[in-house]
Homo-oligomer: A and B are copies of this chain.
Amino acid sequence: MNIHLFCVMRVRDENKIEALLAEARKMVVEEGFDGLSMQKLAKAAGVSPATIYIYFKDRDDLLIQLYKRETDRFFEYIFRDFDPEMDFATGMTVQWKSRASYVIENLDNTHFMEHFKYSHLHQKAMALRDPKYAEGLKRFVRKAIDNKELVEMPFEVYWSVAFAPLYNLVHYHKAGRNMAGDPFVLTDEMLLQTLSLVLKALKP
């Protein structure tokens, strides 16, 4: 074994990885998981099919890495201004508005993340998640319940009441239609009203 073994090497091209993942996301959002083929992806990203396999073990690995990257970016953003020690109303508002602005500004990324949650790869991908963000939110909720700022409830009930309505509205917005097929555009006013309804539900 040579001491220089890890020194003589050409650098990984991060731009290629970026391009591949961005194109893959676009293809999945536009045509579904069965619309993502490795040869079409290679062409769209301007590389050879073989190059994909330098950076990713296989197709599943590429999708899992993409999901991990998307969730990392998402969590980093929404926890930037959030502190579990905030009082409940402040913390909820910060957390909710961060999520809202991220998903509105990143409709494709959000669509991909939500779509991925229904795939059989989701289980495998969850194992790679950094638990620190979920832990922070859990601590925030536990503290709020202890302080009587939040009705006592399981964490999953809290999460579902607090955030599921937001993602549902954004899904309509991305489609441009509501559940009945009517045209729909999400407004700031609707977002603020939804937040206030959610707070009303959760506060004692």
User: Given A126-B181, A138-B180, A180-B138, A197 and B151 touching (CB < 8 A)?
Assistant: yes
- Minimum Cβ distance to chain B for residue A172 (Å): 6
Q: Are A120 and B160 in contact (CB under 8 A)?
A: no
CB of A98 within 8 A of chain B?
Answer: no
CB of A19 within 8 A of chain B?
Answer: no
CB of A3 within 8 A of chain B?
Answer: no
Selected interface stretch from A6-14, A46-54, A83-91, A127-135: A127-135
Contact among B126, B168, B194, B200 with A177 in the assembled complex (CB-CB below 8 Å): B126
- B contact residues around A184 at 8 Å (CB): 156
Number of residues in A with C-beta < 8 Å to the partner? Answer: 55
User: Given A114-B118, A126-B177, A197 and B131 touching (CB < 8 A)?
Assistant: no
Count of identical protomers in the assembly = 2
Which residues in A have some Cβ–Cβ distance to B below 8 Å? 30-35, 111, 114-115, 117-123, 126-127, 129, 131, 134-135, 138, 151, 153-157, 159-161, 164-169, 171-172, 175, 177-181, 184, 190, 193-194, 197-198, 200-202
- Minimum Cβ distance to chain B for residue A154 (Å): 6
Q: Are B160 and A194 in contact (CB under 8 A)?
A: yes
Q: Are A117 and B181 in contact (CB under 8 A)?
A: no
- Minimum Cβ distance to chain B for residue A173 (Å): 9
A172 to B157, alpha carbons, bound, how many Å? 11
- B contact residues around A115 at 8 Å (CB): 118
- B contact residues around A167 at 8 Å (CB): 164
